[in-house]
Chains A and B, each alone.
Chain A
């Protein structure tokens, strides 16, 4: 009965470093979303997976951002050559299907120095 988990919970990176953020969705959930949440703002859509297929990546802010879900379960969001403006909380959410309740993970707080 575990919910969505994310790791690490906190990540501090020096500008220019690459980071990888992991999301473990609820077992059996087909849909997986990544969001970026800046302080005091709502979650900003980054990308959406249906099983292993990345159906929408229109929200990824630049080609430095890359997401994958190779086996339709665990997903990884990778940010290359991190910049200070990448500092935010990255939230992962999963759901049974596209238009059903999304269950959010606790988020990864990324700080780029």
Chain B
């Protein structure tokens, strides 16, 4: 929703290229930012997460960067493969008014072989 904005909504890349998805959040008290991958008809699964005390985290071909000042964080997938095709959601925990998790509206990534 409006607490977390995600762009782009769709993304097509050639196999082997990189993909970048960006999210912004509104609550400066947010301190946990996960990314989920959801394949068609399946449940969301965590692929990487980052906490507000670090600026970057990497796991093989996947990395997440966080800019607390600007209140945005990004998912980077390098050397994309067809099996990376899915919908990706960012999320942020809203701390200032309670304990809600807000998800972005999703990015449909297509990796073209």
Contacts and interface: CB of A to CB of B under 8 A. Distances in A.
B16 interface: no
A33 B101 contact: yes
A56 B99 contact: yes
B51 A99 contact: yes
Interface stretch (A10-18, A70-78, A103-111): A103-111
Most interface-central of A43, A50, A101 (chain B CB within 10 A): A43
Interface residues of B, number: 25
A107 B45 CA distance: 13
Nearest to A33: B101
A1 interface: no
Contacts of A105: 43
Contacts of B97: 58
A48 B100 contact: yes
B103 A43 contact: yes
Interface residues of A, number: 23
B46 interface: yes
B100 A91 contact: no
B106 A41 contact: yes
A58 B34 CA distance: 21
A56 B51 contact: no
Contacts of A58: 97-98, 100
A102 B89 contact: no
A55 B99 contact: yes
A45 B43 contact: no
Interface string A89-104: 0010000001101101
Contacts of B49: 101
Contact of A99 (B31, B89, B100, B104): B31
A41 B6 CA distance: 11
B44 interface: yes
B73 to A, nearest CB: 14
A56 B44 contact: no
Contacts of A106: 42-43
